[in-house]
Every structure is written in C-alpha cells, then in structure tokens.
Structure 1
C-alpha cells in the first residue's frame, strides 16, 4: 500500500477501532503473562501505566475532535444566519427608502408647481401698479396732471388760451399723455415713455415757436426729471424683480424635468406603467402620473414581492435581491433625489431673497419721491408701512402654502447615504 495513502487511511480510521486495538494488545499481554513466569514482579506496573497513558491520549484526541466539530458547526450556522440577516437588512433598507422616496417625489413635484405659480400676491401687485400709474394719486399727485401743470407754468409761463397757439400746445400735451399707445404698455414703463414723448414734442415745437427758449425747456426738464428719477427707480425695482422671478421659474422648470427623469427610472424598477408625455406640459404629465404612483401602491408592490419569494413561511431575501437588481440601483441613486430637494430649498429661499431686495428698492424709490418734494413725508411713511405689511403677508402666504418643513421631515426618512452592493 502506498505510504501516503496509508497515512490518509490512518487519519480517517475511526478512533473506536484504534481504542479496540489497544485493548486487545493489553489483553494479549495479560495472556502472555499467565503463560510465562515473570522474573521480576516490578515490571508489571510499568506495562499497565503504558496502556493507560495510550488510552488516555486517544480519549483526549477524540474529545478535541468532537469539540472542533461542534465549534465548526456553530461557526457555519452563524455564517449562514449572518448572511440571511444581512440580506434581510439590505431588503428592509431598500423597502423603507423607496416607500419614503415615493412620498418625496410627490411632495417635491407639488411644491415645485406651487412655487412656479408665484409672482407676488394680488394685493402687492395692485399696490405697485397704482404707484406706477401716471393717473394714480397714491402719493398725492397725478403724474399726468403734473406734466400739464409744468407745461403751463414753465414752458408757456402761464400764458395759455384754448384758441391760441399756447392752448394748442397744452391740448397736444394732453393728447400725448392719453395716447392709446401708452395705455397698451405694460405697467412697468408708461410714466417714463410719456415723459420722453412730451420732451420730444416740446423740443420740436420750440423750433418754430420762438417764445419757447432752450432755457425754458431746461427748466421744464429739470422739474420733470424729479419725477423721472422716482419712476426710473420704481421701474428698475419692478424689472429686476420680474427678471429674478423668471430666472427662478426657469430653474424650477429644469428641476422638474430632472425630477421626471429620476422618477421614471424608479417607477420602472417598481413595475409601474410609465406616463406618456406627448404634447402635455411637464406639470400636467407629473400630476397625471401621481394619480397612480402613490405611497400606498409602493407598499403594495413590496408586499406582493415578499409573497412571491416566500417558502415555508420564510422569505428568501437572497433570491429576492438577486432577481431584482434594479432595486439596489434605485436605492443607490436616491442621493440624486435628495440633492434635487436641496436644489428646491435653494430656489425657495431665493424667492424670499428676491422679495427682500424688491422691498428695499421700492422703499428707495419712495424715499426719492420724498427727497424730491413730490410727496409729503407722512404720505411716504404711510405707503412704506403699507408695503411692508403686504410684503410680510406675501411671505406668510407662500410659507403656509408650500410648507417646506413637510419636505424636510420626509427627506430625513430616506437613508440615502447607505449604498447596497
């Protein structure tokens, strides 16, 4: 027999046979002692001790093997149980994240639409429009009336008559002010357009009317510019606010497009039927989709998944994850969704920054009106207080409508930092 094979054979031989062989050897020795006269009695104890030591050593080795088998068995069971627990943990993380994310998608879309629809409140719009209306007397004067008064007082030096040339100049000035062209302008520019047109008209008239000197026109323009400076400041405030709102809205549109793309991937992994956008707007498409893509239906999806992979009242999480790899990928991309909520928070805060800047610029224009003597201080103070209240009302209204804290609380439930591989 091959020596290596014999070694393996000996290693694999049951320990019981080894023990039996030792016992038989001892019995043979005892039989030999009965048939043979032992010259010295003191040699017997030595043989007995040798046999006992061999048996004890074999028993110790047997105990070690038994203990080792027990330890190995426990370790293997621990590894198997650990693997099962690990898969369960992964699944529960994915499940909870996607259920909470479904609510995040809905809330984020809803709040994007709400913020996009915001410009200012109706009351604030009415207030600004009145200040910029040439016919309005919100500050105690009508710009249209003031222009006519300045023409009569400075340009014509109080010499007017409906039937003479000066009277016709006054009537022509009134016609310019009331021109349908200016009435069709946006609320931002009529006073400035009117002032510019009247100045051009008077300069052209002065060419043939020697009574209207350049010095007279300069005096008229100086007084007119007190109003022009006020309306220019107010116009600048309106334009910058409108530009800021439009930029904010463009960024919200882009954010909603990105949300749509992200949602489509998640919905596909959860076996939802994807919406057909067609000619519909992104807002309309998303609203239609959220009639079906709801938190309750995502919960139901995972319930059906667990039923599918249940065997003997136990869920095979390893197989479930292996056969649905997209669930891991969707979970690992949830950080992108959270970043989109952060982007919305920035745009939400930018809206209030715009409103604060607008408030400051409008107040500055009112201060110019006061400094130029266009309106009394008590009127300016009253208008500034009214504008402050309207601005605070607009802030409270949008905060209550959008409820950004609701989005914060839901986002905190998504454990997006834990990636699964």
Structure 2
C-alpha cells in the first residue's frame, strides 16, 4: 500500500504539479474518515458490553478479549506513517522542481553573459581579417618583382627589352639611320607609357611585351630590314621573361581571388552575427541601432559602446530583484514570464557554429598565404631556369620572401589572437537546451 501510494504521487507530481497537492488532501480526508470510524466502532462495542446483562463484568474492557479496536488503531497508525513518508516525497519533489528552475536560470544567465563577449570578439576579429591582404613589407617585395624598372633580380625589364630590340631586331644599327632611331624611341615610349599601370587583367610587364610585339610586327610590314627570323628570335628571347612574369601574375591573381572570396565569406558571417546579436539584444531590452547609411562594421562598432558584458550582468541583476520576495527569488515565475530568455539560450549553438566558421576562414587565410608563397617561389625558379638571373640572386630573394611570409603570419596571429576566441566560446554550454 505504501509503495503504490508513493509511486502514484511521484508520477502525478511530475506530470501535473497540482495533482500532488490534491493527493495530499485526499490522504488527509481518508485519515480523518478512518479515525472517526474507529471511534464509532469503539463506542459501539463498549456500549454493547455495558448494556448486555449476560456479559460478565470481567470481560468488559479486558485486555486481549477484543482485537477489533487494536486492528483499527494499527491501521490508523499505518496511515499516519504513510502520510509522513508521502509528505516527505512531495516535499522532495517540490524542492527538486525549485532546484531545476534555478539550474535552468543559471545556465541561461551564464551563457548569455559569456555570449555578450563572444559577439564583441568575433566582430573585432572579422573586421581585422577582412582588412588583411598581406603586410606592407610583403607587398613591397612582390611589387618590386613585378616592376619593369626594378632591378630586384639583377636586371631591369625595360632595359632588357630595349637591348633585345637593338641587338636582335635592329642588329645594332639604331644609331646609324633615322628610321631605326625612331623604332628605338617608339620602343622606349611604349615601355614608359603610364597606361600600362592601369591594367588590371595583365601585369605591366606582360602588357608591355604584348604591345612591343604588335608594334614590331606592324613596323616590319614597311621595313624590310626587320625579317621574320629576327622577329622569331626576338619573340623567343622575350618569352623567357613572359614565362616568368606570367607565373608571377598567376600567383598574384589567385591570391587576390582567394582573398576576395574569403572577404565575401567574412561579410556573410558578419551579417549572420549581426542578426543573432540583434535578437539577443532585443530580449535583453537594449535599444537596437539604426543602420541608415552606415556600413555594418561601423554600426556594430558603435553598438558595442552600449552592449557590453557589464551591462548584460546588470540586466540579470535587475531581473532577479524584480522576482525577489523577501530573500527568495521566484525562479519558476521568472522563467515563465520571460520565455524568450530560453530561446536566446537555445540559439547559442548557432553562435558557436559561427565562431567555428570564423576559425575556418582564419585558417583558410594562411592556406592561401602558403599557396601564394609556393607560386611566387616557382616563378623565381623559372627566372633561374631561363637564365634571367643567377642562382645566388634567386636564393637570396627566396630567403627574403620566406622571412617576410613568416613575419606576416606572426603579425596576423598576434593581431587576431584566435586563442582568445577559443577560450571565450568554450564557456558557452550550448549543448544544454532549456525547455
């Protein structure tokens, strides 16, 4: 009987809290009924013995003669014992319910407080990574390799083309007649033309090579001294430079394409972060920003002047004060009247996934840098293979490039500090959903 009653109370109290209270009232009524019944039966027995003249006086109220009253009293005692035990069970359930609400609230509170810092860190690091191409020193190094006037590899591309035109096309006769002199002037004019600096699809060296070849083929139509053999020989020598600059240009273009794609993904991630932040901020009663003509980055930076960790902590302190009676917080009522807090908590998994997406984009940047490093080194090797520069010069440039790449990696890692984001994100217990 005791076990069945406790089981029933447990089931009912877990499913519908008020049934546990109803069960307690039923037990009290039953106990009172049994007690009244026992008194009536005891009175009836005593009356019978007292009124019956045939019953010997020695039998009236003699211990052990009638067990009815004793049985009834034992049952009453059993009901009392069961009632105490069931009351303890009910109190345990109610206490467990209160503890459960406290646990839910503390989980929600801590997750949101930690998330407030995650929003800030992610936005800051997204903006930092978006602004990255390489570093100034690395950019200067690549620009020097691609500059027609530079002697980074021990030669000037402009001077080499002029020499080839004079030696291969004009056979060293540039100073002997006006027509050859004009060819040299036109060659130098093409090389120094500022128009090639605005080319985006080709690097200046490739654009210059293409223009020089078109010019010489055009001149050869009227100048019979410029033979097909001379043009073929010139083009063969020129192609050695074209191969080097094409490889360098390919490295630059693929790195730029990769950076732009990475930046597009960061923009998309920042949009998602903004939407997530706005929902959380609205639930916490923060005034949401008006974007207007501002960029997303500017809007979020401005918003973080107000949306700070300490202000989120203040929000929960005020919320707890509101639901405090005496010295006790009514967590059940707090959660019931603020259901969106649960939803914010349950969306923390999405915020953590966004942080992991940033980590992937961060790592992809270094993958791009590694690929770029490899391709630039390959272009330098082509310069060596085609005899454009000697081995010591190429070795020196490759070592310089390696040091600059290492410097760029260290600078970006120190600036973004991805470990800071790891540590903060790990504080968010996103796997625990609150229902």
> TM-score scaled by structure 2?
0.89
From 243, 248, 262, the equivalent of 1:229 is 243
2:392 corresponds, among 368, 378, 398, to 378
1:149-298 superposed matches below 5 A: 149-161=163-175, 163-185=177-199, 189-298=203-312
Tell me which residue corresponds to 1:64: 78
Correspondence for 2:50: 28
Deviations for 1:195-214, whole angstroms, at most 9, x for unmatched residues? 00000010011101111111
Aligned length: 406
Give 1:306's aligned residue: 320
Task: Describe how 1:76-87 pairs up with structure 2 within 5 A.
Answer: 76-87=90-101
CA distance in 1, matches of 2:201, 2:145: 10
Structure-2 change in CA distance of 1:64 and 1:334 (3 Å) = same
Where does residue 3 of structure 1 map in the other structure? none
Q: 1:22-56: per-residue Cα shift (whole Å, max 9, x none)? A: 66258528964457xx9xxxxx69x86341x2233
Q: 1:416 — aligned with what?
A: 430
- Quick one: which of 7, 14, 17 aligns to 2:39? 17
User: For 2:302 and 2:154, how far apart are their aligned partners in 1?
Assistant: 51
Partners of 1:269 and 1:327 within 8 A in 2: yes
Contact in 2 for aligned 1:15/1:62 (Cα 8 Å):
no
Rounded Cα–Cα distance in structure 2 between residues aligned with 1:162 and 1:195: 25
1:239-286 superposed Cα distances (whole Å, 9 cap, x missing partner)? 000111011111111110111111000000000000001100000000
2:346 to 320, 332, 335: 332
Contact 2:35 2:76 in 1 (8 A): no
Q: 5+ unaligned residues in a row in structure 2: which ranges?
A: 1-29
The question of whether the paired residues in 1 share the 8 Å contact of 2:31 and 2:80 is answered with no
Asked whether the equivalents of residues 102 and 295 of structure 1 are also in contact (C-alpha less than 8 Å), the reply is: yes
Q: In 2, are the aligned partners of 1:188 and 1:239 still within 8 Å (CA)?
A: no
Q: Which residue of 2 is the match for residue 131 of structure 1?
A: 145
Larger radius of gyration: 1
Seen in structure 2, the aligned counterparts of structure 1 residues 162 and 118 have a Cα distance that, compared at 3 Å, is farther
User: Equivalent residue for 2:359?
Assistant: 345
Q: In the alignment, does 2:162 pair up with 1:148? A: yes
Any conservation in 2 of the 1:152–1:158 contact (CA below 8 Å)? yes
Structure 2 Cα separation of the partners of residues 91 and 316 of structure 1: 11
Query: Using the alignment, how far apart are the partners of 1:104 and 1:9 within structure 2?
Result: 59
3-state SS in 2 of match to 1:49: coil
What is the Cα deviation at residue 63 of structure 1? 1.4
**Secondary structure of 1:330's match?**
helix
Residue 401 of structure 2 is aligned to residue 387 of structure 1: yes
Alpha-carbon contact 1:139-1:375 (below 8 Å) kept: yes
RMSD (Å), alpha carbons? 2.2
SS of the aligned residue for 2:43 comes to: helix
| Residue 320 of structure 1 pairs with residue 340 of structure 2 | no
User: 2:327 and 2:340 mapped to 1: Cα distance?
Assistant: 25
1:49 and 2:64 are equivalent in the alignment:
yes
Distance between the aligned counterparts of 1:414 and 1:168, measured in 2?
75
CA distance in 1, matches of 2:32, 2:163: 126
Cα 1:54–1:132 change in 2 (3 A) is same
| Separation in structure 2 between the aligned mates of residue 34 and residue 88 of structure 1, nearest angstrom | 69
Rounded to whole Å, the distance in 2 between the matches of 1:116 and 1:31 is 111
1:402 aligned partner? 416
